Amino acid sequence: MKSLVSAVFMVCTLCVFQSLQNVNAKQNEGYDLDSDAPIRIGVKKRIKKEDCKQKTIKGDRVSVHYRGTLYKDGKEFDSSFARDAPFTFRLGKGEVIQGWVSFSKNIFKL
């Protein structure tokens, strides 16, 4: 089951990065996809940079709650919330695909 979830997540992540190839982002404002993009991503809560006293570094253990939904109908296909267990990995240790590492670098430690 764990490998199936990993495979589904990898495919979804690859689709997201494929969709992001043609997206231009304004500095510090995040990304916005074209309205006809097959996949949309977003952040529900941003933490102000001045509130961050420490950032993640290689070797840190990162735990992330996520919910994967289809854009067109909002149907949930995967959720760490449903399992009541965040997805956890160590940065820079080869435990996850590069997409997870890219978005997890320099995020705030809470």
Q: What is the 3-state secondary structure (H, E, C) of the chain?
A: CHHHHHHHHHHHHHHHHHHHCCCCCECCCECCCCCCCCCCCCCCCCCCHHHCCCECCCCCEEEECCEEECCCCCCEEEECCCCCCCEEEECCCCCCCHHHHHHHCCCECC
Domain range summary for the chain, segments of one domain joined by +: 2-104
Q: What is the pLDDT of residue 108?
A: 60
Q: What is the pLDDT of residue 70?
A: 81
Residue with tokens 């961050």: 52
Chunked in runs of 10, what are the mean pLDDT values of the chain (110 residues)?
48 43 40 58 66 81 83 85 90 82 65
pTM: 0.49
Q: What is the pLDDT of residue 68?
A: 83
Q: What is the pLDDT of residue 92?
A: 86
